[in-house]
Amino acid sequence: MNLDLKNRTQKPKYDDYIGPTRTKATWKPRVIETPLTFLRCEYCGRVFLQEDSATPIENPGKGRDRIAVLPLEPPTGVISCCGEPMQPVPQVEWDDVRDRIELEHETLGGVNSNAMRIHWEVKEEGCVPRWVCIKTFTGHQTKYITPDKKSPLTFAYADEDAFGYCHDNPCRECVFRCKSGFEIYVYVENIGIVHENMERILTQKMMGNK
């Protein structure tokens, strides 16, 4: 899969248009580093995503130091299914399984239609994506991949999740890393969860229509 992400053509800018999903945040939001918790039943295959740890939802700090503390703490007790404790879903990084399934992500849409696309190309028979979950500044989103769904899969952002320093479309993924703190979890058959954080830098150029 060769998307040539560094050399994509920039789309026209619409600075005078304010869409309904455009964020009102004036600086980059932050979120705690606690990962999402996924457990699986070894008997029926059911996967559990913890939605709420019952811990306080807080937003401490001021200005640029403010950070979203979400209820993501993992369970302290046993979660059971089919009469047995559920186990953490095996997790690997994208680069570890590129010979089995190649995954890629890109951010696009500027600040008015901010979104992310997940691309995939199956390299080994049976290693197909079943669903994708992304952790964001405000929580998480999950999408299922139907058998007839072709790559890519698109997630739309709104509110703080749609924050961007500039209008560049597609995102250049520069040193400002607008989506730093986001995490991508792809459940792949015969592998488990394939994980990627959104910390990479594709260009040293600064943001801003250059």
Per-residue pLDDT of the chain (210 residues; tens, 9 = 90+): 777 777 777 776 655 567 889 888 888 999 999 999 999 999 999 999 999 999 999 999 988 899 999 999 999 999 999 999 999 999 999 999 999 999 999 999 998 899 999 999 999 999 999 999 999 999 999 999 999 999 999 999 999 999 998 889 999 999 999 999 999 999 999 999 999 999 999 976 654 544
Domain ranges of the chain: 28-197
User: What is the structure's pLDDT at 18?
Assistant: 76
User: What is the structure's pLDDT at 19?
Assistant: 80
What sign results for the dihedral spanned by CA atoms 187, 193, 198, 204?
negative
Whether this prediction's pTM lies above 0.75 is answered by yes
Tokens representing 37 are 């918790």
DSSP string for residues in 144-202 = E--TTPPSPEEEE--GGGG--SS--SS----TT-TTBTBEEEEEETTTEEEEEES---S
User: What is the structure's pLDDT at 6?
Assistant: 74
Contacts of 210 (CB under 8 A, 6+ apart): none
User: What is the structure's pLDDT at 15?
Assistant: 57
Tokens representing 76 are 């302290």
DSSP string for residues in 23-50 = ---SS---B--PPP-EEE-TTT--EEE-
User: What is the structure's pLDDT at 209?
Assistant: 45
The CATH architecture to which 28-197 belongs is Sandwich (2.60)
